[in-house]
Amino acid sequence: MIFDPGMGFFLSSDFQVSFEVLKKIKTLQEEFSPMMVSVTKKSFLGNALGGLKVEEREIPTVIAELYLCIQNVEYIRTHEPKNLKQALKIWNLMNK
């Protein structure tokens, strides 16, 4: 069994709720592991930046996914694996 906290409108119409879940992801992992999180182009990312359209959410998506990787989330469901792979490569080069 893999825990998925759900993100975006599933949690709340208030985008801050999703960010609170992300900030507390380590605490959630203590209780629910393994975990899978998906933030790809979610509405909470667009709403946090003034209502970005879906096609404008690639950069916020990669930032949120990279954060989840750094937090050691076991599974990240993404629609753009190439973008995340590139971000991880740069992150790893910067942290050698």
Cis peptide before 34 (omega within 30 of 0): yes
Span 10-27, average pLDDT? 93
**How do strand 75-76 and strand 36-37 relate by DSSP bridges?**
parallel
Span 53-76, average pLDDT? 97
Among 31, 35, 94, residue whose Cα is nearest residue 68:
35
pTM of the full predicted structure? Answer: 0.93
Kindly list the distances between the CA atom of residue 12 and the CA atoms of 29, 40, 84, 94, in Å, as whole numbers in the listed order. Answer: 21, 17, 26, 35
pLDDT at 10 > cutoff 90: no
